[in-house]
Structure 1
Amino acid sequence: MQELHDAPLAPLTTLRLGGPARRLVEATTDDEVVETVRAADRGGVPLLIVGGGSNLVIGDQGFDGTVLRIATTGFELDGTDLTLAAGEVWTDAVAHTVEAGLAGIECLAGIPGSAGATPIQNVGAYGQEVSSTITEVTAYDRRAEETVVLTNAECAFSYRHSRFKADPDRYVVLRVGFRLEDANGQSAPVRYAEVARSLGVGQGERVELALAREKVLELRAGKGMVLDPADHDTWSAGSFFTNPVLEPGQYEAFLARVHDRLGPESAPPAYPAADGRTKTSAAWLIDRAGFTKGYGTGPARISTKHTLALTNRGAAKTEDLLTLAREVRDGVREAFGVELVNEPVMVGVAL
């Protein structure tokens, strides 16, 4: 276990933003993770958990407490059952499952971050979510001061949400269990229209696993969503805003605003959600509100490849990014009456 003081946090995040940590601990075993968390809790010391740093916006003042970077390793495959240590690099784990001929997470290739973060956010992309394959999550319960195992149902997954996200100060994920599918080298049914079109197949059809992964990586790279230190379009936290899910009355009011602003022939993206609600596209809203790719003149700008990514062009501060995020959020609200919600976790700052 390594320990540093007044340690820079920006290099630990994909945004390359944020001030220093008073104390930074890197844990390589579950016991070290639990020991560090328990000591901080009993000592009343503020604690920040960091994995791959792909979903964090840390304030310029840094973090006045202990930052725990989880660097545990472990990839255990038993038939179609997979167990990942929280610190495993997610995109590497996906590649290994494809190499093993197992389907279920191949369309989540290229997503930066660690395996332990995936259940917290219920990570999803291109028609797949981890909630469909996770069987259990082993976590340290800070309230009970014991290690617990939560079933899929107990994780309370929903769109980009979970029990862990709802109660962020209670659980520290240690290991994640998945049940994948042996489909004789074939992918899971391709659900996402863009992926299906790119592969030249119909939605619901299967393709070779490796081909599905490669196509997703190609699509993500085209949107600046595969990390590249030389490409500032990838210096982001991925999608900065979640796709809004609207109640029936909200959706009708939203449609009226769209037709007033863009004309009665305009039809925003609409996808059925639970309880009669409708999910629409944050990227569509941002673009139609006037915030197009590359928007901005300062050190923080919208990606030139994807309107959902707010990027550090190399010399930004966190406050630069937040100023841009507020401008986009407020502009969408003014144009369409819809409130965008940030997807990354805010540390010491707020929109």
Structure 2
Amino acid sequence: MSIAETSTQDTLREHTTLRLGGPARRFVTAASADELVNTVRDLDADGEPTLLLGGGSNLVVADEGFPGTVVRIASKGWSGTSVEAGQDWDEFVAATVEKGYGGLECLSGIPGAAGATPIQNVGAYGCEISEVLDSIELFDRRTGEVAAVRADELGFAYRTSVLKGTENGVVLRVRFALSEDGLSAPIRYAELARTLGVDVGARVPAREAREAVLALRRGKGMVLDATDHDTWSAGSFFTNPIVDPANVDVVLARIGEVVGGDVRVPRYPAEHGVKLSAAWLIERAGFGKGYRGKTGSVSLSTKHTLALTNRGGASTAELLALAREVRDGVADRFGVVLRPEPLLINCAL
């Protein structure tokens, strides 16, 4: 293989934003798209279990680690609106804003690598990757071929795509369709609009929108900072639950009975139902900001209820125990089941 192999003494805790995870049998690094394709082909031919690792921001890895080879995707750089899969996402977003492109500014500050963004249809502050993606270059492990795949072929939905939960495709490059007038996409998120002092739907200079988003994310512990344990997380741990339209009235009635009074449950239209606020449900199920697990080594963020955090010296088992406590507490109180957003590697919730 034309790859750089690293020490088998590494653990995944050193390569994930949660700073959790045990050892792998081997770590290798692919520094270009070609190296990545050749590496995965060789590993597949050998029947070796493979974990593709970008920025490690959306992974929960077992304390036992991964019984195979971890391939670190280290392809860097961009040209115009096309970016290599291993490129740090926020560096690329900053570069597009600096060059006068608009469309990615509301996705500022999200940790991880560019290649992961279409897999889970990353979204924040009223913008999703599906809305600005042109195409990806994909290595299909089933056929051994590399091909361009259009955005409309990726089966995008809320925080998912046809690529999520499968190992069939390896993203090599991502190409975006961005405006060139230096203005943001229409501001759809009410909190961001208030911060910017504009009406929902307005467009502003992309640079201003990016700065506002970064400020909001920092206030919620969602911009990586090694000194701030609130950022030792995988971002939002649970997705906002989507309730079938036929069940919405029943669910809302139960929530109203539990909470009491004429309560207004935050809800938003979704493609296949009504989206409820996971953070709202978590807080009203008795899990406030900073709620600690039984050992004290993990907690909900002190700034953002949706983030489960490592307070230092934690284990994945402790994090998952807290996640189960929160999930089961919401289900018992409101009858709504929360689903994890990160990928769970060699472990389960």
Q: Same fold (TM over 0.5)?
A: yes
Aligned counterpart, 1:96: 95
Task: Establish whether residue 281 from structure 1 lines up as the match of residue 273 from structure 2.
Answer: no
* Displacement of 1:263: 1.7
Query: Separation in 2 of the partners of 1:116 and 1:302?
Result: 28
Pairing 1:106-255 to 2, within 5 Å after superposition: 106-166=105-165, 168-183=166-181, 185-255=182-252
Structure 2 counterpart SS, 1:329: helix
Give the secondary structure class of the aligned counterpart of 1:327: helix
Of 3, 13, 21, the match for 2:5: 3
Gaps of 5+ in 1: none
1:43 to 41, 46, 51: 46
Moved over 6 A (4+): none
The answer to whether the aligner puts 1:53 opposite 2:56 as a matched pair is yes
Identity of paired residues, percent?
A: 56
Structure 2 equivalent of residue 259 of structure 1: 256
Deviation at 1:256, TM superposition (A): 1.4
Measure how far apart 1:267 and its partner are.
1.3
TM-fit CA distance, 1:60: 0.2
Higher mean C-alpha deviation, range 106-115 or range 244-253 = 244-253
CA deviations 1:198-246 (Å, max 9, x no partner) are 1111001111211110000000000000000000000000000000011
Residue of structure 2 equivalent to 1:333: 331
Q: What TM-score do the two structures reach when normalised by structure 2?
A: 0.97
User: Counterparts of 2:234 and 2:111 in 1: how far apart (Å)?
Assistant: 9
Given that 1:299 and 1:315 are in contact with CA atoms closer than 8 Å, whether structure 2 keeps it comes out as yes
Paired residues for 1:26-41 under 5 Å: 26-41=29-44
Task: Give the alignment's TM-score, normalised by structure 1.
Answer: 0.96
How far is 1:7 from its partner? 2.1
- Aligned with 1:65: secondary structure? strand
- For the aligned residue pairs, the C-alpha RMSD in angstroms reads 0.9
* Aligned mates of 2:72, 2:115 — CA distance in 1: 11
Question: For 1:2 and 1:64, how far apart are their aligned partners in 2?
Answer: 19
* In structure 1, distance between residues paired with 2:180 and 2:39: 39
Q: Can you give the 5+ residue segments of structure 2 that lack an aligned partner in the other structure?
A: none
Q: CA deviation at 1:328?
A: 0.2
Query: Residues 137-162 of structure 1: CA distance to partner in whole angstroms, max 9, x if unpaired?
Result: 11110000111211111111111010
SS at match of 1:256: helix
- The one-letter code matched in structure 2 to 1:23 is R
The amino acid that maps onto 1:326 is R
Write the distance in 1 (CA, Å) between the matches of 2:185 and 2:135. Answer: 20
The DSSP-based 3-state class of the residue aligned with 1:172 is: strand
CA distances 1:246-286 after superposition (whole Å, capped 9, x unpaired): 102332221111111112411111111124x1001110110
Return the alpha-carbon distance in structure 1 between the equivalents of residues 339 and 122 of structure 2.
16
Corresponding residue for 1:299? 297
What amino acid maps onto 2:152 in structure 1?
A
